[in-house]
Amino acid sequence: MFRVAVAGATGAVGGVMIRVLEERGFPVSELRPLASERSEGRELDYLGKPCRVRRLDEDAFEGIDIALFSAGSPRAKAFAPAAVEAGAVVIDNSSAFRMDPVVPLVVPEVNEEAIAGHSGIIANPNCVAAPLVVALKPIADAVGLERVVLSSYQSVSGTGAAAIDELRAQTAGALAGSEPEPEVYPHPIAFNVLPHIDTFGDDGYTGEETKVANETRKMMGLPDLRVSATCVRVPVYYGHSESVQIETTERLTAEQARNLLMGAPGLVVIDEPGLNRYPLARDAAGRDEVFVGRIREDSSHPRGLALWIVADNLRKGAATNAVQIAESLVTKGWL
């Protein structure tokens, strides 16, 4: 049994981390929810029992074996070293350490063995990159992968609890004819789409888009993979969808790709479009798997395939993947 801290326990991802620990029966001897001073003393439910939130500070990790962090980059940088110092292994959902060459960035279905080399911190990938690599790894292994072009349809829960509230309040306001001013996003998200997630770089790509590219390369072990992403926020609560076009080294037919993906770990193929069956954000919400469909040969490239990938961004895109990393640590003896 393990003593598990969840840093950022009162946030959207932190809350799901606790649910996923319960659902998957992770062997927890003590759950220690941590949050900012504002939430100190609040009680969260864990396996039907109240569990008091402690303040996230340098002394919060005494005796902890595994610390799941979903507290943002600044707090990860501030407190992850203290957690490691106290003897915990940190699994961090922020982008703080993802591209650090000594930190493994892991989706267990794709590169579980990278966990073995950790030095106390393991990074959990971006919520677009995680489902993407689950779907692309079997293809890359089978026929080689050269290029990925992606446009995303990302739900507001990826931004956090305040964004969920903003979408709800703004939508209700729009229906009633008196819409509140946007606060979380720079523009209204109700009945709109925003081609803007994270801040813009000099190359015109956003931080989110650059993360998708860099993290995909790192996890796939393909440093030269060419990736271009356009990341877009849509008025959906839960579930990120991705329109993906890839170029492989050897040609793969749609049927070959479908067969390859049907047997792949963590993936569910839903691809009977004539029966109106394809992955949908609302169906993926609350599910741990990655869903893929609309698999077709790209009419614009002889070695191209188009795919539609959907996953619950709070689960496979965040909490579930973090708990899976914790499971690997435990079952493989890498703790």
Q: Which is nearer to a second copy, 44 or 156 (CB)?
A: 156
Query: Does 193 contact a second copy by CB under 8 A?
Result: yes
> Contact, 234 vs 188, CB < 8 A?
no
Selected binder of a second copy within 76, 153, 269, 312 (CB under 8 A): 153
Least separation in angstroms between residue 291's CB and a second copy is: 11
Compute how many residues bind a second copy; rule: CB under 8 A.
57
Selected binder of a second copy within 306, 311, 314, 326 (CB under 8 A): 306
Query: Does 79 contact a second copy by CB under 8 A?
Result: no
Query: Does 257 contact a second copy by CB under 8 A?
Result: no
> Contact, 328 vs 112, CB < 8 A?
yes
Query: Does 236 contact a second copy by CB under 8 A?
Result: yes
- Rounded Cα distance, 54 and 307, in Å: 43
Task: Give me 163's structure tokens.
Answer: 């964004």
H or E segment at 135?
A: helix 129-143
- Rounded Cα distance, 315 and 287, in Å: 7
Task: Give me 85's structure tokens.
Answer: 């110092």
Query: Does 274 contact a second copy by CB under 8 A?
Result: yes
The letter for the amino acid at 307 is L
Selected binder of a second copy within 16, 64, 234, 314 (CB under 8 A): 234
Catalytic residue positions, numbered: 127, 240
DSSP letter string, 239-262 = -EEEEEEEEESS---HHHHHHHHH
> Contact, 322 vs 115, CB < 8 A?
no
Task: Give me 251's structure tokens.
Answer: 């040609």
How many Cα neighbours within 13 Å face the side chain of 83? Answer: 30
Sign of the torsion angle spanned by Cα atoms 277, 279, 285, 291:
positive
Selected binder of a second copy within 48, 59, 101, 299 (CB under 8 A): 299
The number of beta carbons lying within 10 Å of the beta carbon of residue 316 is: 26
Letters for 132-151 (x = contact with a second copy by CB under 8 A, - = none) are: ---------------xxx-x
Least separation in angstroms between residue 128's CB and a second copy is: 13
Query: Does 97 contact a second copy by CB under 8 A?
Result: no
Q: Which is nearer to a second copy, 109 or 271 (CB)?
A: 271
Q: Which is nearer to a second copy, 54 or 296 (CB)?
A: 296
Interface residue list for a second copy (CB under 8 A): 147-149, 151, 153, 168, 171-172, 175, 186-188, 191-196, 200, 203-206, 213, 226-228, 230, 232, 234-237, 241, 243, 245, 254, 273-274, 276, 278-282, 293-301, 304, 306, 308
